[in-house]
Structure 1
Amino acid sequence: MGLRRSRAILAGVAAAVLLAGCGPVDAGGLGDGGGVADGGSGGNDGGSAGVSPLDNPKGTEPGLGAITSSKDRADAVTLIEKVTTKGRGPKTGYDRDEFGYAWADTAEGVPFARNGCDTRNDLLARDGKDLKYRSGSNCVLVSMTLDDPYTGKVIDWSKSDASEVQIDHVMPLSYDWQMGASRWSKAKRVQIANDPLNLIPVDGSANSSKGDSGPATWLPPSKRIRCSYAVRFAQVALKYELPVTAADKEAMLTQCR
Protein backbone atom coordinates (compact mmCIF):
# COMPACT_ATOMS: atom_id res chain seq x y z
CA MET A 1 0.00 0.00 0.00
CA GLY A 2 1.40 3.42 -0.98
CA LEU A 3 2.25 6.12 1.56
CA ARG A 4 -0.46 8.54 0.36
CA ARG A 5 -3.11 5.80 0.23
CA SER A 6 -2.21 4.75 3.77
CA ARG A 7 -2.54 8.37 4.89
CA ALA A 8 -5.94 8.67 3.27
CA ILE A 9 -7.27 5.59 5.05
CA LEU A 10 -5.89 6.68 8.40
CA ALA A 11 -7.18 10.20 7.93
CA GLY A 12 -10.70 8.89 7.44
CA VAL A 13 -10.51 7.01 10.73
CA ALA A 14 -8.91 9.97 12.49
CA ALA A 15 -11.61 12.36 11.35
CA ALA A 16 -14.17 10.49 13.42
CA VAL A 17 -12.23 10.89 16.64
CA LEU A 18 -10.27 14.14 16.38
CA LEU A 19 -11.66 17.57 17.03
CA ALA A 20 -11.93 19.82 14.01
CA GLY A 21 -9.67 22.84 13.68
CA CYS A 22 -6.42 21.45 15.12
CA GLY A 23 -3.40 23.48 14.10
CA PRO A 24 -0.60 22.22 11.87
CA VAL A 25 2.43 20.38 13.21
CA ASP A 26 5.26 22.68 14.26
CA ALA A 27 8.39 22.50 12.13
CA GLY A 28 10.47 21.38 15.10
CA GLY A 29 14.27 21.28 15.13
CA LEU A 30 16.57 20.76 12.17
CA GLY A 31 19.54 19.14 13.85
CA ASP A 32 21.92 21.94 12.86
CA GLY A 33 22.04 23.92 16.08
CA GLY A 34 25.13 24.98 17.94
CA GLY A 35 25.69 22.32 20.62
CA VAL A 36 28.19 19.46 20.43
CA ALA A 37 28.00 16.41 22.66
CA ASP A 38 30.44 13.55 23.06
CA GLY A 39 28.50 10.42 22.10
CA GLY A 40 31.41 8.16 22.94
CA SER A 41 30.56 7.47 26.55
CA GLY A 42 27.75 5.56 28.20
CA GLY A 43 24.44 5.54 26.39
CA ASN A 44 21.32 3.44 26.23
CA ASP A 45 21.97 -0.06 24.94
CA GLY A 46 18.31 -0.74 24.26
CA GLY A 47 16.97 -2.29 21.08
CA SER A 48 16.06 -0.55 17.88
CA ALA A 49 13.13 -0.61 15.53
CA GLY A 50 13.25 -0.23 11.81
CA VAL A 51 15.02 -1.48 8.70
CA SER A 52 18.78 -1.90 8.53
CA PRO A 53 20.34 0.85 6.40
CA LEU A 54 22.07 -1.87 4.39
CA ASP A 55 18.59 -2.99 3.28
CA ASN A 56 17.28 0.54 2.86
CA PRO A 57 19.61 2.35 0.42
CA LYS A 58 16.98 4.93 -0.58
CA GLY A 59 15.78 5.76 2.92
CA THR A 60 12.15 5.08 2.09
CA GLU A 61 11.70 2.31 4.68
CA PRO A 62 11.06 3.14 8.35
CA GLY A 63 13.54 3.63 11.12
CA LEU A 64 17.17 2.66 11.52
CA GLY A 65 17.54 -0.98 12.44
CA ALA A 66 20.64 -2.29 14.21
CA ILE A 67 23.42 -4.03 12.28
CA THR A 68 24.46 -7.05 14.35
CA SER A 69 25.67 -10.00 12.26
CA SER A 70 29.36 -10.41 11.45
CA LYS A 71 28.63 -10.47 7.73
CA ASP A 72 26.55 -7.30 7.82
CA ARG A 73 29.16 -5.51 9.91
CA ALA A 74 31.82 -6.52 7.38
CA ASP A 75 29.61 -5.18 4.58
CA ALA A 76 29.20 -1.96 6.57
CA VAL A 77 32.97 -1.54 6.85
CA THR A 78 33.34 -2.11 3.10
CA LEU A 79 30.77 0.60 2.41
CA ILE A 80 32.30 3.12 4.80
CA GLU A 81 35.76 2.53 3.33
CA LYS A 82 34.49 3.95 0.01
CA VAL A 83 33.96 7.40 1.55
CA THR A 84 36.68 9.92 0.71
CA THR A 85 38.21 12.32 3.24
CA LYS A 86 39.34 15.91 3.44
CA GLY A 87 39.64 18.65 6.02
CA ARG A 88 36.52 20.49 7.13
CA GLY A 89 36.25 23.85 5.38
CA PRO A 90 35.09 27.18 6.80
CA LYS A 91 31.48 27.81 7.72
CA THR A 92 31.64 31.22 6.01
CA GLY A 93 28.40 32.04 4.21
CA TYR A 94 26.40 29.17 5.68
CA ASP A 95 22.72 29.82 6.28
CA ARG A 96 19.88 27.30 6.58
CA ASP A 97 18.08 29.18 3.80
CA GLU A 98 20.87 28.20 1.41
CA PHE A 99 19.26 24.73 1.51
CA GLY A 100 15.79 26.04 0.75
CA TYR A 101 12.66 26.60 2.79
CA ALA A 102 12.50 24.05 5.60
CA TRP A 103 10.57 20.90 4.69
CA ALA A 104 9.53 22.10 1.25
CA ASP A 105 7.70 19.53 -0.89
CA THR A 106 9.39 20.84 -4.05
CA ALA A 107 12.78 19.09 -4.00
CA GLU A 108 13.55 17.33 -7.26
CA GLY A 109 14.77 13.77 -7.55
CA VAL A 110 14.07 12.49 -4.02
CA PRO A 111 11.42 10.08 -2.74
CA PHE A 112 8.15 11.57 -1.43
CA ALA A 113 8.77 14.93 -3.15
CA ARG A 114 5.77 16.70 -4.73
CA ASN A 115 3.27 14.33 -3.10
CA GLY A 116 1.28 17.17 -1.53
CA CYS A 117 2.75 16.72 1.98
CA ASP A 118 5.71 18.56 3.47
CA THR A 119 8.92 16.66 4.16
CA ARG A 120 8.56 16.67 7.95
CA ASN A 121 5.14 15.03 7.87
CA ASP A 122 6.36 12.54 5.27
CA LEU A 123 9.12 11.43 7.63
CA LEU A 124 6.87 11.27 10.69
CA ALA A 125 4.46 9.10 8.69
CA ARG A 126 7.32 6.89 7.46
CA ASP A 127 8.66 6.11 10.93
CA GLY A 128 5.71 6.65 13.29
CA LYS A 129 3.02 4.24 14.47
CA ASP A 130 -0.58 4.81 15.55
CA LEU A 131 -0.74 7.86 13.30
CA LYS A 132 -3.50 10.40 13.85
CA TYR A 133 -4.05 13.23 11.41
CA ARG A 134 -5.63 16.63 11.68
CA SER A 135 -9.32 16.45 10.87
CA GLY A 136 -9.82 16.65 7.13
CA SER A 137 -6.11 16.13 6.32
CA ASN A 138 -4.16 13.11 5.15
CA CYS A 139 -0.85 14.92 5.68
CA VAL A 140 -0.71 16.85 8.93
CA LEU A 141 -0.04 14.60 11.89
CA VAL A 142 -1.28 15.58 15.36
CA SER A 143 -0.05 12.53 17.27
CA MET A 144 1.88 9.29 16.83
CA THR A 145 4.19 6.84 18.60
CA LEU A 146 7.89 6.76 17.66
CA ASP A 147 10.44 4.06 18.46
CA ASP A 148 13.43 6.40 18.64
CA PRO A 149 16.54 4.71 17.24
CA TYR A 150 18.98 7.15 18.83
CA THR A 151 17.95 6.58 22.45
CA GLY A 152 15.91 3.37 22.37
CA LYS A 153 12.95 5.21 23.93
CA VAL A 154 9.32 4.91 22.85
CA ILE A 155 7.95 8.43 22.47
CA ASP A 156 4.24 9.22 22.52
CA TRP A 157 4.33 12.42 20.51
CA SER A 158 1.71 15.09 19.97
CA LYS A 159 1.76 18.44 18.22
CA SER A 160 1.28 20.21 21.55
CA ASP A 161 4.93 19.37 22.28
CA ALA A 162 6.19 19.27 18.72
CA SER A 163 9.88 19.65 19.52
CA GLU A 164 9.90 16.40 21.51
CA VAL A 165 10.48 14.74 18.13
CA GLN A 166 12.82 16.46 15.70
CA ILE A 167 13.96 15.47 12.23
CA ASP A 168 17.71 14.86 12.23
CA HIS A 169 19.79 15.58 9.17
CA VAL A 170 22.14 12.62 9.62
CA MET A 171 24.81 14.47 7.66
CA PRO A 172 24.15 17.97 9.03
CA LEU A 173 23.56 20.77 6.54
CA SER A 174 26.31 22.94 8.01
CA TYR A 175 28.67 19.94 7.71
CA ASP A 176 27.59 19.51 4.08
CA TRP A 177 28.32 23.18 3.44
CA GLN A 178 31.82 22.91 4.88
CA MET A 179 32.58 19.71 2.96
CA GLY A 180 31.63 21.08 -0.47
CA ALA A 181 27.91 21.92 -0.68
CA SER A 182 28.76 25.64 -0.63
CA ARG A 183 29.75 25.19 -4.30
CA TRP A 184 26.58 23.32 -5.28
CA SER A 185 23.54 24.63 -7.07
CA LYS A 186 20.62 25.67 -4.87
CA ALA A 187 18.56 22.79 -6.31
CA LYS A 188 21.10 20.19 -5.15
CA ARG A 189 21.21 21.71 -1.66
CA VAL A 190 17.40 21.57 -1.47
CA GLN A 191 17.66 17.94 -2.50
CA ILE A 192 19.99 16.83 0.31
CA ALA A 193 17.96 18.84 2.85
CA ASN A 194 14.78 16.92 1.95
CA ASP A 195 16.14 13.50 0.99
CA PRO A 196 14.67 10.80 3.27
CA LEU A 197 18.03 9.02 3.11
CA ASN A 198 19.43 11.90 5.19
CA LEU A 199 16.45 12.33 7.54
CA ILE A 200 15.38 10.46 10.69
CA PRO A 201 12.74 11.49 13.27
CA VAL A 202 14.39 11.20 16.68
CA ASP A 203 14.27 12.33 20.29
CA GLY A 204 14.49 16.11 20.28
CA SER A 205 17.02 16.46 23.08
CA ALA A 206 19.39 13.93 21.47
CA ASN A 207 19.14 15.77 18.17
CA SER A 208 19.78 19.13 19.80
CA SER A 209 22.92 17.79 21.47
CA LYS A 210 24.32 16.77 18.09
CA GLY A 211 24.44 20.22 16.52
CA ASP A 212 26.47 20.01 13.30
CA SER A 213 28.92 17.43 14.67
CA GLY A 214 30.41 14.60 12.68
CA PRO A 215 30.70 11.03 14.03
CA ALA A 216 34.08 11.71 15.69
CA THR A 217 32.43 14.06 18.20
CA TRP A 218 28.82 12.85 18.35
CA LEU A 219 27.18 9.44 18.13
CA PRO A 220 23.68 8.29 19.12
CA PRO A 221 23.37 7.49 22.84
CA SER A 222 22.29 3.93 22.02
CA LYS A 223 25.48 1.98 21.34
CA ARG A 224 23.49 -0.71 19.54
CA ILE A 225 22.61 1.66 16.72
CA ARG A 226 25.98 3.32 16.18
CA CYS A 227 27.14 1.09 13.31
CA SER A 228 23.83 1.73 11.53
CA TYR A 229 24.23 5.47 12.08
CA ALA A 230 27.75 5.31 10.60
CA VAL A 231 26.43 3.42 7.57
CA ARG A 232 23.66 5.94 6.99
CA PHE A 233 26.17 8.81 7.26
CA ALA A 234 28.32 7.01 4.66
CA GLN A 235 25.34 6.38 2.37
CA VAL A 236 24.54 10.09 2.27
CA ALA A 237 28.17 11.03 1.72
CA LEU A 238 28.49 8.58 -1.18
CA LYS A 239 25.21 9.52 -2.82
CA TYR A 240 26.11 13.22 -2.83
CA GLU A 241 29.83 12.69 -3.43
CA LEU A 242 30.77 14.49 -0.23
CA PRO A 243 33.90 13.67 1.75
CA VAL A 244 34.09 13.41 5.52
CA THR A 245 36.99 14.29 7.79
CA ALA A 246 39.61 11.60 8.43
CA ALA A 247 38.63 11.56 12.10
CA ASP A 248 34.96 11.09 11.24
CA LYS A 249 35.71 8.25 8.85
CA GLU A 250 37.83 6.46 11.45
CA ALA A 251 35.07 6.89 14.02
CA MET A 252 32.55 5.44 11.55
CA LEU A 253 34.73 2.42 10.83
CA THR A 254 35.31 1.84 14.55
CA GLN A 255 31.55 1.49 15.15
CA CYS A 256 31.27 -1.42 12.71
CA ARG A 257 34.52 -3.32 13.25
Structure 2
Amino acid sequence: MRNTTKLLLTLPLLATLSCGGPSTGAEYESAPPGTPSAAEAADLLDELRVAPKGSMDGYDRDEFPHWAEAEGRNCNVRERVLIREGTGVDTGRDCYPTSGEWESWYDGETWTDPSDMDIDHIVPLGEAWRSGASEWTVDKREKFANDLDGPQLVAVTDSVNRSKGDDAPDEWLPPDRSTHCGYAAAWTGTKHKWELSVTTAEKKTLRDVLQGC
Protein backbone atom coordinates (compact mmCIF):
# COMPACT_ATOMS: atom_id res chain seq x y z
CA MET A 1 0.00 0.00 0.00
CA ARG A 2 1.04 3.59 -0.52
CA ASN A 3 2.55 5.57 2.37
CA THR A 4 0.08 8.45 1.89
CA THR A 5 -3.42 8.75 0.53
CA LYS A 6 -3.57 8.25 -3.23
CA LEU A 7 -4.38 11.43 -5.09
CA LEU A 8 -5.20 12.07 -8.72
CA LEU A 9 -2.99 15.00 -9.61
CA THR A 10 -4.27 17.11 -12.47
CA LEU A 11 -2.53 20.46 -12.41
CA PRO A 12 -3.00 22.92 -15.27
CA LEU A 13 -0.14 22.85 -17.74
CA LEU A 14 0.73 26.53 -17.32
CA ALA A 15 0.96 26.11 -13.57
CA THR A 16 3.39 23.21 -13.86
CA LEU A 17 5.61 24.32 -16.73
CA SER A 18 9.07 25.13 -15.42
CA CYS A 19 11.12 27.34 -17.69
CA GLY A 20 13.63 29.01 -15.43
CA GLY A 21 16.39 28.52 -12.90
CA PRO A 22 19.49 26.34 -12.98
CA SER A 23 19.28 22.58 -13.24
CA THR A 24 20.37 20.74 -10.10
CA GLY A 25 20.40 17.31 -11.69
CA ALA A 26 17.68 16.10 -9.30
CA GLU A 27 15.25 15.78 -12.19
CA TYR A 28 17.42 13.02 -13.63
CA GLU A 29 17.65 10.85 -10.50
CA SER A 30 14.76 8.60 -11.59
CA ALA A 31 14.91 9.28 -15.33
CA PRO A 32 14.87 6.24 -17.61
CA PRO A 33 18.21 4.86 -18.88
CA GLY A 34 19.48 6.61 -21.98
CA THR A 35 17.94 9.99 -21.15
CA PRO A 36 20.15 12.63 -22.81
CA SER A 37 21.28 15.77 -21.03
CA ALA A 38 19.26 18.93 -21.63
CA ALA A 39 21.95 20.26 -23.96
CA GLU A 40 22.07 17.00 -25.93
CA ALA A 41 18.28 16.89 -26.10
CA ALA A 42 18.17 20.45 -27.46
CA ASP A 43 20.45 19.38 -30.31
CA LEU A 44 18.34 16.27 -30.97
CA LEU A 45 15.20 18.39 -30.98
CA ASP A 46 16.57 20.46 -33.86
CA GLU A 47 16.85 17.27 -35.91
CA LEU A 48 13.24 16.14 -35.45
CA ARG A 49 10.83 16.45 -38.35
CA VAL A 50 8.01 18.92 -37.73
CA ALA A 51 4.61 17.81 -39.01
CA PRO A 52 0.93 18.26 -38.11
CA LYS A 53 -0.56 15.77 -35.69
CA GLY A 54 -1.57 12.67 -37.61
CA SER A 55 -4.82 10.73 -37.56
CA MET A 56 -5.75 8.17 -34.92
CA ASP A 57 -7.63 6.15 -37.54
CA GLY A 58 -6.87 2.46 -37.11
CA TYR A 59 -5.18 2.91 -33.74
CA ASP A 60 -5.46 0.18 -31.14
CA ARG A 61 -3.12 -0.60 -28.26
CA ASP A 62 -2.98 -4.16 -29.57
CA GLU A 63 -1.04 -2.74 -32.53
CA PHE A 64 1.83 -2.33 -30.01
CA PRO A 65 2.17 -5.79 -28.38
CA HIS A 66 3.45 -5.52 -24.80
CA TRP A 67 4.69 -6.66 -22.32
CA ALA A 68 7.22 -8.90 -24.06
CA GLU A 69 9.43 -11.45 -22.38
CA ALA A 70 12.69 -9.97 -21.12
CA GLU A 71 15.99 -11.73 -20.76
CA GLY A 72 16.53 -13.70 -17.59
CA ARG A 73 14.35 -15.48 -14.99
CA ASN A 74 11.14 -15.57 -17.03
CA CYS A 75 10.59 -11.83 -16.54
CA ASN A 76 8.53 -9.64 -18.82
CA VAL A 77 9.35 -6.02 -19.60
CA ARG A 78 6.97 -4.60 -16.98
CA GLU A 79 8.60 -6.69 -14.27
CA ARG A 80 12.07 -5.69 -15.46
CA VAL A 81 11.21 -1.99 -15.12
CA LEU A 82 9.79 -2.55 -11.62
CA ILE A 83 12.96 -4.39 -10.58
CA ARG A 84 15.18 -1.75 -12.19
CA GLU A 85 13.49 1.20 -10.53
CA GLY A 86 12.58 -0.19 -7.13
CA THR A 87 14.54 -0.27 -3.89
CA GLY A 88 14.94 -3.51 -1.95
CA VAL A 89 12.92 -5.47 -4.50
CA ASP A 90 12.34 -9.18 -3.91
CA THR A 91 10.59 -11.34 -6.50
CA GLY A 92 8.83 -14.67 -6.65
CA ARG A 93 9.73 -17.47 -9.00
CA ASP A 94 7.51 -15.89 -11.65
CA CYS A 95 9.63 -12.69 -11.39
CA TYR A 96 6.76 -10.54 -10.09
CA PRO A 97 7.90 -8.34 -7.18
CA THR A 98 6.76 -9.56 -3.76
CA SER A 99 8.22 -6.63 -1.84
CA GLY A 100 10.06 -3.39 -2.43
CA GLU A 101 9.61 0.36 -2.56
CA TRP A 102 9.03 2.59 -5.58
CA GLU A 103 9.22 6.38 -5.86
CA SER A 104 7.17 7.74 -8.73
CA TRP A 105 9.22 10.09 -10.91
CA TYR A 106 6.19 12.12 -11.98
CA ASP A 107 4.87 13.09 -8.53
CA GLY A 108 7.42 12.00 -5.92
CA GLU A 109 4.99 9.64 -4.16
CA THR A 110 6.33 6.44 -2.61
CA TRP A 111 4.63 3.05 -2.93
CA THR A 112 5.24 -0.42 -1.53
CA ASP A 113 2.66 -2.28 -3.63
CA PRO A 114 3.78 -2.73 -7.28
CA SER A 115 0.14 -2.82 -8.40
CA ASP A 116 0.00 0.90 -7.59
CA MET A 117 2.61 1.55 -10.27
CA ASP A 118 2.05 1.85 -14.01
CA ILE A 119 4.87 1.44 -16.50
CA ASP A 120 4.48 4.56 -18.59
CA HIS A 121 5.55 4.90 -22.18
CA ILE A 122 7.20 8.34 -22.10
CA VAL A 123 5.96 8.82 -25.67
CA PRO A 124 2.49 7.25 -25.41
CA LEU A 125 1.48 4.60 -27.91
CA GLY A 126 -1.31 6.77 -29.33
CA GLU A 127 1.05 9.73 -29.71
CA ALA A 128 3.57 7.50 -31.47
CA TRP A 129 0.82 6.27 -33.80
CA ARG A 130 -0.10 9.77 -34.94
CA SER A 131 3.53 10.87 -35.31
CA GLY A 132 4.75 8.06 -37.56
CA ALA A 133 4.23 4.63 -35.99
CA SER A 134 1.03 4.01 -37.96
CA GLU A 135 3.33 3.30 -40.91
CA TRP A 136 5.47 0.78 -39.03
CA THR A 137 5.24 -2.98 -39.00
CA VAL A 138 3.74 -4.64 -35.93
CA ASP A 139 7.21 -6.03 -35.16
CA LYS A 140 8.69 -2.53 -35.01
CA ARG A 141 5.81 -1.27 -32.88
CA GLU A 142 6.40 -4.17 -30.48
CA LYS A 143 10.08 -3.19 -30.16
CA PHE A 144 9.05 0.41 -29.46
CA ALA A 145 6.52 -0.58 -26.78
CA ASN A 146 9.07 -2.77 -25.00
CA ASP A 147 12.19 -0.58 -25.34
CA LEU A 148 14.24 -1.19 -22.20
CA ASP A 149 17.38 0.45 -23.60
CA GLY A 150 16.10 3.90 -24.56
CA PRO A 151 14.45 6.52 -22.32
CA GLN A 152 10.96 5.23 -23.05
CA LEU A 153 9.78 3.27 -19.99
CA VAL A 154 9.39 4.50 -16.41
CA ALA A 155 7.45 3.32 -13.33
CA VAL A 156 5.04 5.97 -12.03
CA THR A 157 1.90 6.35 -9.93
CA ASP A 158 -0.96 4.72 -11.85
CA SER A 159 -3.47 7.57 -11.48
CA VAL A 160 -0.95 10.19 -12.62
CA ASN A 161 -0.04 8.13 -15.65
CA ARG A 162 -3.72 7.78 -16.59
CA SER A 163 -4.23 11.54 -16.29
CA LYS A 164 -1.57 11.90 -19.00
CA GLY A 165 -3.33 9.65 -21.50
CA ASP A 166 -1.86 10.09 -24.98
CA ASP A 167 -1.02 13.78 -24.49
CA ALA A 168 2.12 15.44 -25.82
CA PRO A 169 4.16 17.85 -23.64
CA ASP A 170 2.29 20.91 -24.93
CA GLU A 171 -0.83 19.30 -23.39
CA TRP A 172 0.56 17.60 -20.27
CA LEU A 173 3.68 17.67 -18.09
CA PRO A 174 4.33 15.78 -14.83
CA PRO A 175 2.90 17.37 -11.66
CA ASP A 176 6.38 17.50 -10.08
CA ARG A 177 8.05 20.51 -11.73
CA SER A 178 11.53 19.21 -10.87
CA THR A 179 11.10 16.39 -13.41
CA HIS A 180 10.28 18.63 -16.38
CA CYS A 181 13.84 18.87 -17.69
CA GLY A 182 14.36 15.12 -17.51
CA TYR A 183 10.93 14.42 -18.95
CA ALA A 184 11.46 16.75 -21.93
CA ALA A 185 14.88 15.22 -22.53
CA ALA A 186 13.53 11.65 -22.36
CA TRP A 187 10.64 12.54 -24.69
CA THR A 188 12.99 14.15 -27.21
CA GLY A 189 15.47 11.29 -26.99
CA THR A 190 12.73 8.73 -27.61
CA LYS A 191 11.27 10.61 -30.57
CA HIS A 192 14.75 11.01 -32.06
CA LYS A 193 15.68 7.34 -31.59
CA TRP A 194 12.47 6.18 -33.28
CA GLU A 195 12.37 8.97 -35.90
CA LEU A 196 8.96 10.23 -34.87
CA SER A 197 7.74 13.70 -35.79
CA VAL A 198 6.78 16.59 -33.51
CA THR A 199 4.16 19.28 -33.96
CA THR A 200 5.05 22.97 -33.85
CA ALA A 201 3.41 23.40 -30.43
CA GLU A 202 5.08 20.29 -29.06
CA LYS A 203 8.51 21.44 -30.26
CA LYS A 204 8.03 24.90 -28.74
CA THR A 205 7.11 23.47 -25.34
CA LEU A 206 10.07 21.08 -25.40
CA ARG A 207 12.43 23.90 -26.34
CA ASP A 208 11.06 26.18 -23.62
CA VAL A 209 11.56 23.50 -20.97
CA LEU A 210 15.04 22.52 -22.15
CA GLN A 211 16.22 26.12 -22.35
CA GLY A 212 15.23 26.59 -18.72
CA CYS A 213 17.28 23.64 -17.47
TM-score range, shorter chain: 0.7 to 0.9
CA RMSD of aligned residues (A): 2.4
TM-score under structure 2 length normalisation: 0.81
Runs of 4+ displaced beyond 4 Å = none
1: CA distance, partners of 2:123 / 2:131: 10
1:224-239 pair list within 5 angstroms = 224-239=178-193
Alignment partner, residue 19 of structure 1:
none
Q: Does 1:84 align with 2:36?
A: no
Give aligned-pair identity as a percent: 32
Counterpart pick for 1:216 among 170, 178, 181:
170
1: CA distance, partners of 2:28 / 2:208: 22
Q: Does 1:147 align with 2:115?
A: no
Contact 2:91-2:97 within 8 A present in 1 as well: yes
1: CA distance, partners of 2:132 / 2:59: 11
Counterpart pick for 1:50 among 12, 23, 29:
29
Contact 1:103-1:120 within 8 A present in 2 as well: yes
Change (3 A) 1:39 1:128: farther
Q: Quote the offset at 1:204 in angstroms.
A: 1.0
2: CA distance, partners of 1:189 / 1:170: 15
Q: Quote the offset at 1:51 in angstroms.
A: 5.7
DSSP-derived class of the 2:112 partner: strand
Q: Does 1:41 align with 2:15?
A: yes
Change (3 A) 1:202 1:39: farther
C-alpha offsets along residues 41-78 of structure 1, whole Å, 9 cap, x if unaligned?
249xxx5573666xx42x7xxxxxxx9xxxx5434322
Gaps of 5+ in 2: 1-9, 18-25
C-alpha offsets along residues 66-109 of structure 1, whole Å, 9 cap, x if unaligned?
x9xxxx54343223222221111111111111111x3121xxxx
Q: Does 1:126 align with 2:84?
A: yes
1:1-257 pair list within 5 angstroms = 38-42=12-16, 48=27, 50=29, 56-57=33-34, 73-100=38-65, 102-105=66-69, 113-115=70-72, 116-134=74-92, 137=93, 139-158=95-114, 162=115, 164-196=116-148, 197=150, 198-257=152-211
Gaps of 5+ in 1: 1-35, 60-66, 106-112
Q: Quote the offset at 1:243 in angstroms.
A: 0.7
Larger radius of gyration, structure 1 or 2?
1
DSSP-derived class of the 2:13 partner: coil
Contact 2:49-2:198 within 8 A present in 1 as well: yes
Change (3 A) 1:206 1:128: same
Greater relative contact order: 1 or 2 (C-alpha under 8 angstroms, separation 6 or more)? 2
Number of positions where the alignment pairs a residue of Structure 1 with one of Structure 2: 192
Q: Quote the offset at 1:147 in angstroms.
A: 1.8
